[in-house]
Amino acid sequence: MQNILEMTAADLGRLIAKGRLDPVEITQAYLDAAQNHSEIGRVYTMLTTDRALSEAVASSLRAKSCQRLSPLDGVPISWKDLFDTSGLKTEAGSDLLSGRLPKTDAKCLKNATALGLVCLGKTHMSELAFSGLGLNPVTKTPPCVNDPEAVPGGSSSGAAASVAFGLAAGAIGSDTGGSVRIPAAWNDLVGLKTTSGKISLQGVVPLCQKFDTVGPLSKTVEDSALLFSALCGELPIDLKESSLKGARLAILRAKGINEVREKPANAFDQSIKALKMAGAHVDEITLECVSEALGLTGVLFNSEAYGTWKELIEKNPNVIFDKILARFREGANFQASDYLAAWQSLENLRQTYYSATQGYDAILCPTSPIMPPNAVRLMNDEDYYVAENLMSLRNTRIGNLLGLCAITLPTGVPSCGLMMLAGPHQEKRLLRTAVAAERALG
């Protein structure tokens, strides 16, 4: 039998259902792997061993009595350290929240637990989720699976590392400007950004609640679909008979997003060829509403982030990584009138985008226009840090600004992802298109 740690979450669930694997055996395999891994301290803030084994034992009993709660009942997954876990520290990668002990689980964690998923542990993240790089000198910077000297992408950095290094069958992260998709892409995973409001943010440490979303990082689209359904507390999505034949896709062009470095650009071009070979019709569309929306990034994100955290930050600014502190404080440069006017403009731009793209199954672009940056240089070169952080999030932020759902798929080129964007609350349609694209990409 294939190594447990190499299996997809869906395959683990199927073997549990057939009685060929036991949830306790699976959970113990992951706990042992994590405890013996050289990078465990950079991936997990903690392993929730007692909870995981207790949940696995309960799942095992259900499996033996043919009372499984979902296809992933008994499958162990990790949780980014901004999801509240009852009685266990949830500190969002920041000493500002040191010792914070929630009394209850986050709502989406409750949903997943109610469907039998096993909580394996909490993963490291960018401080207060405010970086696309995954660099966190305050707590830990997780490793990148493709380059030991590079950052892994953020802010769901440990979430990606937990799956990429075989230390969790799947992971749950959050995405405010690309924080699921960037680490997924740089670690050759599937990452799903959900529509704002689709999955409850109750019990999730906020960054910008108008843009914050919850989403899975996984080995396959099927795994992402099953995890998405579990987070929502819904029935699984039927992905059977998905095909790209006749699918209408479009490559997104716009001022300010056309610059892509060589490796991601080549990987994207090869991916488009594969999609066309599978029967998809691919257009190119130029949408300046996207450029205009990106121009609103500072006033919208920084204002809300600083407004959310200003009081706590200014009481103890010295405990925050200076580059994250500077980014938060940029929010003080805007007036309330600027913020309100920007939201009014964004709502109009969203409608323009929806009208221009409604005939397509998905809009395409490289997930990230850059490769994972060098961690040491990020610490020592201010200009490099600012430029790489902004570039890392440039493409993914489009989905958050325009209120879309989105997914990143591995292209077969290390750390290069293909992003597919779809309209609000179109996750089921997007996942069906994505599973067909996944097959085409090999």
The question of whether 392 is a catalytic residue gets the answer no
Among residues 59, 70, 131, 155, the one annotated as catalytic is 155
Distance CA 358, CA 360 (A): 6
User: In 169-236, which residue ranges form alpha helices assigned H by DSSP?
Assistant: 181-186, 221-232
The question of whether 155 is a catalytic residue gets the answer yes
Which of the 8 DSSP states describes residue 85?
Answer: B
Which residues neighbour 26 within 8 Å (Cβ) at sequence distance 6 or greater? 4, 12, 16, 56, 74, 75, 76, 169
Q: Tell the burial category of 240 from Cβ atoms under 10 Å away from its Cβ (0-12, 13-18, 19+).
A: exposed
Q: Tell the burial category of 157 from Cβ atoms under 10 Å away from its Cβ (0-12, 13-18, 19+).
A: buried
Q: Which helix (H) or strand (E) holds 431?
A: helix 427-441
Distance CA 100, CA 288 (A): 44
DSSP secondary structure of 10-64 = HHHHHHHHTTSS-HHHHHHHHHHHHHH-TTHHHHEEEE-HHHHHHHHHHHHHHHH
Distance CA 76, CA 431 (A): 22
The question of whether 245 is a catalytic residue gets the answer no
For residue 367 the two structure tokens come to 């997930």
Which residue is listed with tokens 């949903």? 111
Pairing of strands 417-422, 405-410: antiparallel
Among residues 80, 107, 193, 323, the one annotated as catalytic is 80
Q: At what angle do helices 9-17 and 23-36 cross, to 10 degrees?
A: 140
Q: How far is CA 74 from the centre of its chain?
A: 22
Dihedral, CA of residue 82, residue 85, residue 86 and residue 87, to nearest 10? -80
Among residues 78, 94, 126, 179, the one annotated as catalytic is 179
Q: How many of the other CB atoms lie within 10 Å of CB of 382? A: 12
List the catalytic residues.
80, 155, 179
